[in-house]
Structure 1
């Protein structure tokens, strides 16, 4: 790019020099003709021959001066380009480094996002698995509780039946009060007690038969 700019500037300057030389040549050709028209009697061949080398030297000097100026301008522009290039190179390098750093940060952020997504998916799966395990354990505990409740009811019924049997046996084994009467009354009471005891014994046996 620098070379193209320099070539473009050189082409412009060369064109300008060519135009200047062309204009000077036209002026050199037209100037003797004008001199002849103004004073045709005074113009001599010797004067024309003398003026032509002077104009050539003047045109050459002008061209050399212009070329020197052009070279100076080219050198100044090239120096400015070099200075600008030297100043811009550190900034360009800094920008390139910043781009590399930003790219690295983007890649790291992308990797972090992917890791978080994978962790979220794993956590969601773990929650679902834990929920399934919890439901299974709750079902098992409820079933165990129902079984224990049924067993407790069965044992309670057995205890109640045992308490009832014990109460009946205690009632049957209770002593009968004796009155102070004659022998007839005693014998009568004794017979009555035997009859009652026999009846109670039969009732007790009947109760056991009913329970069985």
Structure 2
């Protein structure tokens, strides 16, 4: 099975994440998209970051109606800090019959050469890149790498930061979140302070 790994803090997950993930599931050769919830990095103090399991619950709520999208807590069990190359090695050991690919935005592709053991990632995994409005593909060498696939996906300019700020400022951002996610956030009073 060919799995696309979509990493994120998903703080919170929003319709932009779902649009990209579903587009990859429906318009590429990836059979499933695993929404990998990245744990809180203890070196970074973030008051707005919800607990790992709360964010995982929100991803569960958001993906419930999408059979090809699967929430994943795989990084919760791994040593911190999480490096993608280590997570990929762990997944290959745990699921030897699966083929894992990465899903990332153009902005991440530009900095991929700074990632730990990025050459090993490229050697062993394909990377599916979705467009960003504000991004320039400066790293032409990587853009043309045979393992990198630039996907003509819808450009979505919604950020979790924007959503959190607007909830705090009592703005109605309900259309930007899946209904179940909005209801849970509103009921739990998340991001209001």
Q: Same fold (TM over 0.5)?
A: no
**Greater relative contact order (Cα 8 A, min sep 6): structure 1 or 2?**
2
Structure whose residues are more often strand by fraction: 2
Structure ID, larger Rg = 1
- After TM superposition, the score normalised by the length of structure 1 is 0.15
